[in-house]
Structure 1
């Protein structure tokens, strides 16, 4: 892959789009064909490998790397971006981002555009930038991981959606249903720089998205831009204050710094009293075994961003 004056020469690149047809609200197949029309003929070789099963995305991305594509573009929401990034992190393959989900925090953080159309413009006039990603055990994440109430809110929400369909009311109800777990907060130890800190909490949120923290109105975004995690640990132990904190994080409403203890670090270990925990990561869920080792992998993912350096993202605080 060649670049001229920091701009990537797409005509010399082999490019593969990994598409999640189940993301977002638009017709995924129709959008995939629009992506094909925009890129095919502008690259040395074009491939589109799409699925409507999220568990297949990482495998599709790994095969694209093995097949020698210079650029692998992820089309879909943050879960799709995270799955593809996990396959590309630590390789020489460059990642492109086409947002197709609800929040699209990773695309907004990069400034590539909040719509597919804007992000396609970025791909056509882009430069490569190394970016930091988070890792918990062997799992790469882009925006956040969380323990406690939030993963169970996601799990409860999926069950309610399957039964009653997707709606804002159903999403709110899922938070209320999941709140019964707040009666049994976790006891955990966070180890940072060899020092142990002990907490009793129902919600731990490890953030890697500066845009998301800005949107929530929380401190820590500048530390994330400097290569750290912002680890938010809910202070409240009673149901109603915990409900407020969890509700804000679950729906992207403005939160309050007074709701959380804040740890800024690029490496930590979290150990919980319960050996197996449900972990939420970029909107997906996985059961993992405590203790959890987290670290920032500095510059280990190569991503296409606007060549002129001008972000296409609106200010999260606007």
Structure 2
């Protein structure tokens, strides 16, 4: 039975919202009981100093980097020592626990308020001539670990193994398979390989299938597949349903997850990155953040202009805000829009603001757009398309193709839990106190869904 009351919010929404406010009141009570307002204020200062120290550690070298790293560690440690010495640590622990509980309850209320609808699926008969392209090295060898070749062939699929030494183009293999009569294309590999084969599948209107055999498997996760058991995806061959999802396009190249510009895209261009990710990143970041290295970008998203971001992420459908730069999950893959997240930090003060305010900091910009154009002061822009390093001539145009991709998935799959937007306490108060949403709030919730 639906728990929503007529013309009002349901108790399933109001109850966690009210619990969130109750926990928030408990935080205030813990601070008042401690009898000192200075420690919590110093806690915020310590968090800001840690953010500033992290900036110095990343954006500088030598002594400045060492001092920044020390500050990033010493600031929170100093606050903890202050709490112990002043005897307010029990109240601090209580306040912290209540704050965590308040955030959890608030997110629960927001999730239950507008859980996005599931993608509409339709039953389909098993494919007659499925072809699965597998990368035996992807994900540390998951293809062999889960015996995906043997299991797929036992179900009647033809398997094409990528020969990494010969650097094959998965799109060429996929086109050849379609020309030979394949009525389904599948991939067991990374997101970059998936995107190339998905582009061929969309081009020929052939169903596409994913096995979560990559390292991160972002696309598989948002499709609701079980990333801990790649072989379970093979159920799509026998007990599958079909859904329609969007496909991103960057300069004529398909992508299923993200296109990155700026610092990350510049770093992955380095030949040393694959062998030594951490050291290469630390070596290149100072020049990219405060020096003259790297392309100076300008992005335009449906008329909105974003000047000189340090990092720019364009995603196939927006990610739910779950951190400073929106990492998390996509509530839906069929919204027909690109997610755009820009990040620019010009100094330690903005880094401290980012640590304190997260995605609401002034250096973070977010949009939902149908078309994004990226220009630069160089002829070719470094780009990372689903993790693959490329150089593309400017301007680089990103668009989305609504419902372009037919995806075959198992009928029974665990699903990707909805990640609620970052907590907006004004919305939580409305949920807790109002029985019927204000029209503006209602419209906002509908646009978020």
- TM-score w.r.t. length of structure 2: 0.57
Match of 1:199 in 2: 307
Question: Matches of 2:349 and 2:143 in 1, distance apart?
Answer: 40
Q: Is the 8 A contact 1:20 1:57 kept in 2?
A: no
Structure (1 or 2) with the larger CA radius of gyration: 2
CA RMSD of aligned residues (A): 3.3
**Candidates 7, 10, 21, aligned match of 2:136:** 21
Contact in 2 for aligned 1:144/1:209 (Cα 8 Å): no
Q: What are the equivalent positions in structure 2 for 1:37-186 lying under 5 Å apart? A: 37-43=150-156, 46-53=157-164, 55-114=168-227, 115-156=229-270, 159-162=272-275, 170-179=276-285, 180-182=287-289, 183-184=291-292, 186=295
Q: Secondary structure at the match of 1:40?
A: helix
Cα distance in 1, alignment partners of residues 333 and 142 from structure 2: 34
Q: In the superposition, relative to structure 1, how do residues 125 and 189 fare at CA in structure 2: closer, same or farther (>3 Å)?
A: same
Match of 1:251 in 2: none
Q: Which residue of the partner structure matches residue 290 of structure 1?
A: 394
Structure 2 contact 260–312 (Cα < 8 Å) conserved: yes
Cα displacement (A) at 1:155: 3.0
* TM-fit CA distance, 1:212: 7.9
Structure-2 separation of matches of 1:188 and 1:17: 39
Separation in structure 2 between the aligned mates of residue 118 and residue 257 of structure 1, nearest angstrom: 39
Q: Distance in 1 between matches of 2:317 and 2:217?
A: 11
Q: Greater share of helix residues, 1 or 2?
A: 2
Counterpart check, 1:280 vs 2:394: no
CA–CA separation in structure 2 for the residues paired with 1:75 and 1:215: 29
Per-residue deviation, 1:36: 3.3
Residue of structure 2 equivalent to 1:236 = 345
Instruction: Give the 3 Å change call, closer, same or farther, for CA 224–275 of structure 1 in structure 2.
Output: farther
- In the TM superposition, what is the alpha-carbon distance from 1:30 to its structure 2 partner? 5.7
Aligned twin of 2:375: 271
- Comparing 21-30 and 81-90, the one that deviates more: 21-30
Determine helix, strand or coil for the equivalent of 1:150.
Answer: helix
Structure 2 stretches lacking a partner, 5+ long: 1-120, 421-449
Q: Match of 1:305?
A: 409
Change over 3 Å in CA distance of 1:293–1:27 after alignment to 2: closer
Give, in angstroms, the shift of residue 161 of structure 1.
Answer: 4.1
How many residue pairs are counted as aligned between the two chains? 291
Distance apart, 1:21 and its partner CA? 1.6
